[in-house]
Amino acid sequence: MRKINIAIDGPAGAGKSTVSKGCAVQLDYTYIDTGAMYRALSLKALRTGTPLDDGEKMTELLKSTSIRLVGNPKVSEVYLDEENVSEAIRTSEVDSVVSLTAAHLGVREEMAVKQRRLAAEKSAVLDGRDIGTTILPDAELKIFLIASVQERALRRYKEMQERGKPADYEEIYEAIIHRDELDKAREHSPLKKAADAVEIDTTVLTVPEVISKITALAEEKV
Ligand code: C5P
């Protein structure tokens, strides 16, 4: 059977991580959460007082930082300098600054090397913003997940509540719009659908429905 990589891109809260993990479990693939890498670097910058809008300093910080993903699909963990930060990177504080981190070319180039290395052996599902356009332009299957802003905000709201975190729907709604705008407008590798990506609108689909659509497309490629 042919080994393939699956690129899953899309805006915040479109269901990429849940769906990507589900696909990875079903196909027995590695799950690579590229957003978690930008989140981990943002967390380190917040902790060390590094200015997130300074591209040179952020690139230097990344070069002296270890970010390790455990992508066995059943557990998806992120280690920052060997500390498990899987929970710590999912705060509204990190949400509000991560697009600054991700805008720097130097940071993106370093991340790209790491991400391509992780995907080199194929059989990986990568979830991000620029996987199909920049990181793996030759990925055998590219998906662009979208959903209405209302639905995406509602999902984030429920997710925060489930984790026992304070959540305000209006604030989440505004934050999602703001983050998408920054991710779409940035100069380097903006959030954009690859020309050969299959767009799936998840607004009215269940998670198992989306996973089965993607795994069916993957089966056609292997
Ligand atoms: O996917 P997640 O919401 O965790 O991503 C957090 C942020 O990381 C995004 O808003 C975006 O700014 C950045 N990101 C990116 N490129 C990727 C993955 C994430 O710029 N491939």
In a domain, 220, yes or no: no
Q: Give the per-residue pLDDT at 7.
A: 98
Nearest CA to ligand 1 atom 6: 35
Q: Which atom of ligand 1 is nearest to the CA of 179?
A: 10
CA distance linking residue 138 with residue 42, whole number of Å: 29
Asked if residue 16 belongs to a known ligand binding site, the reply is yes
pLDDT in tens, 45-69: 999 999 999 999 999 999 999 999 9
**Residue 24 backbone dihedrals phi, psi, to 5 degrees:** -65, -40
Is the minimum distance from the CB of 128 to ligand 1 under 6 angstroms?
yes
pLDDT (average), residues 134-159: 97
Range of the domain at 189: 5-202
Tally of structural domains, the chain: 1
CA distance linking residue 185 with residue 172, whole number of Å: 20
In a domain, 78, yes or no: yes
In a domain, 113, yes or no: yes
pLDDT in tens, 161-210: 998 888 999 999 999 999 999 999 999 999 999 999 999 999 999 999 99
* Mean residue pLDDT across the chain: 96
pLDDT at 116 over 80: yes
In a domain, 217, yes or no: no
Residue 147: CB atoms within 10 A of its CB come to 22
Q: Give the per-residue pLDDT at 163.
A: 86
| Structure ipTM | 0.98
Residue 75 banded pLDDT, cuts 50, 70, 90: confident
C-alpha 105 to ligand 1 mean position (Å): 14
C-alpha 26 to ligand 1 mean position (Å): 24
Domain CATH number, residue 87: 3.40.50.300
Question: What number of helices (H) and strands (E) belong to the chain?
Answer: 8, 8
In a domain, 156, yes or no: yes
